[in-house]
Amino acid sequence: MLVKQVWRILTNPQSMLAKVLKARYFPHSDIFHAQMGPRPSYTWRSINHSKWVLQKGGCWTVGNGMNVKVWEDNWIPSLNGWKKLWKLTIPPRNQVLLWRIIHNIVPVRLNLNNRGVRCSILCPICAKASETIDHVFMKCQKSKKVWLGAQKGLYLSQGNMQFKDWLFYHLEHSDTDTMALIAYRGVKMDGFDGFGLDC
């Protein structure tokens, strides 16, 4: 319901609600770049906390490019990768895990904490770093052992590439057998059931 209010503010900026909230909380930006601000009302806190839903799943037309934030805005990946994901002959659980990884909605501790669930953000396996998707699937000792057992060519670079980018690269460029192996290895890391349980 709150996401509908964000949508109304975006699509009907002349409404009373949009004008009042813009004047008070984001006079020099748009709703997606608005800060909470000092002494926010309950309405604004609720709307501001729910805008992430539209940011995650929304897209917009570039137009003249004046409002494009190249390093901040999400870019739409190729549809070929998505079609390939849903056509893979793997268990649906594995497909959903891959989809959730790409959309950063796996319930790792950092994501839970960002959504208001108060818990330690440290990885429960190694207790050396925050439990993020990249840590769980690339950097934690457990994940490194799982990937070392995989076939050649699936080595995870420890550079700046995020796991979701690596995964999407393989969705677009690897054969279905390789993708099935990646999905199997991802589920083997207990990524679907094990996160956030001891918060």
What are the residue ranges of helices labelled H in the chain? 2-11, 16-25, 42-50, 52-57, 79-87, 92-102, 109-114, 133-134, 141-148, 163-173, 176-188
Task: Look at 32 and 66; give whichever has higher pLDDT.
Answer: 32
Instruction: For residue range 159-197, list pLDDT tens digits in order.
Output: 677 888 888 888 888 888 888 888 877 776 654 445 544
Is 71 domain-assigned?
A: no
Does any domain span residue 69? Answer: no
Same domain, 121 and 29: no
Are both 131 and 177 inside the same structural domain?
A: yes
Residue 15 located in a structural domain: yes
86 with 18, same domain: the answer is no
Q: Quick check: is 126 in a domain?
A: yes
pLDDT for 70: 64
pLDDT score at 130: 93
- Shared domain for 35 and 97, answered yes or no, is no
Question: Does the pLDDT of residue 46 top 60, yes or no?
Answer: yes
- Average pLDDT over every residue of 123-138: 89
Total count of domains within the chain: 2
Q: Please indicate, yes or no, whether residues 150 and 109 belong to a single structural domain of this protein.
A: yes
> Do 135 and 182 reside in the same domain of the chain?
yes
83 and 143 both lie in a single domain: yes
Q: Return mean pLDDT, the chain.
A: 79
Please indicate, yes or no, whether residues 53 and 84 belong to a single structural domain of this protein. no
Residue with tokens 């409404």: 15
Q: Indicate whether 115 belongs to any domain.
A: yes
Report the range of poorest mean pLDDT among 47-56, 74-83, 89-98.
74-83
Average pLDDT over residues 107-128: 89
Tokens linked to 114:
């960002």
* Boundaries of domain holding 113: 79-188
**86 and 53 in a common domain:** no
Same domain as 90, residue 6 = no
pLDDT at 158 over 60: no
Res. 35: pLDDT tops 80: yes
> Predicted confidence band at 60 (pLDDT cuts at 50, 70, 90)?
low
* Pair 28, 85 in one domain: no
Do 157 and 97 lie in one domain? The reply is: yes
The region that residue 77 occupies, defined by phi over 0 for left and psi between -120 and 50 for alpha, beta otherwise, is beta
Task: Please check whether residue 195 lies inside any domain of the structure.
Answer: no
